[in-house]
Amino acid sequence: NAGVTQTPKFQVLKTGQSMTLQCAQDMNHNSMYWYRQDPGMGLRLIYYSASEGTTDKGEVPNGYNVSRLNKREFSLRLESAAPSQTSVYFCASNIPGQGNYGYTFGSGTRLTVV
């Protein structure tokens, strides 16, 4: 069982460069999420997709865009990277409303913007 797969695992960008973080899940989950993790701040929600075809902003959406390509894939794009976006990014998925409510997390993408 692969669960939630994130690529790449590590990335270094120069300020102003763009990149897309990929996330795919094979559990037939409806909802998918992108979080960023920063020291002392826990995990903060960037964007989420409650179901295929829908996306919504979370707590810290500025500087990011997302695409729910299909039920399996949810990508996060940085159009013009800034040092403040240096962080560890986690993708997660779940099936809402089914009493489990246990998110499954990917292993993360460690992004450094120089």
Partner 1 sequence: AQSVTQLDSQVPVFEEAPVELRCNYSSSVSVYLFWYVQYPNQGLQLLLKYLSGSTLVKGINGFEAEFNKSQTSFHLRKPSVHISDTAEYFCAVLDPSNFGNEKLTFGTGTRLTIIP
Q: Give the Cα separation of 114 and 112 in Å (integer).
A: 6
User: Which lies closer to partner 1 via its Cβ, residue 17 or residue 37?
Assistant: 37
Confirm or reject binding of residue 101 to partner 1 (CB under 8 A): yes
Q: Give the Cα separation of 105 and 114 in Å (integer).
A: 27
Residues forming a β-bridge with 76: 21, 66
Stretches 11-19, 40-48, 69-77, 78-86: which one binds partner 1 (CB under 8 A)? 40-48
Q: Which two tokens stand for residue 78?
A: 């940085």
Instruction: Please give the DSSP secondary-structure letter assigned to residue 72.
Output: S
Confirm or reject binding of residue 48 to partner 1 (CB under 8 A): yes
Applying CB under 8 A, which of residues 51, 65, 84, 112 lies at the interface with partner 1? Answer: 51
Confirm or reject binding of residue 40 to partner 1 (CB under 8 A): yes
Applying CB under 8 A, which of residues 31, 85, 87, 93 lies at the interface with partner 1? Answer: 31
CB-based contact 13:19 (threshold 8 Å): yes
CB-based contact 9:108 (threshold 8 Å): yes
- Contacts with partner 1 by CB under 8 A lie at 4, 31, 33, 35, 40-45, 48, 50-51, 56, 58, 90, 92, 94, 96-97, 99, 101-103, 105-108
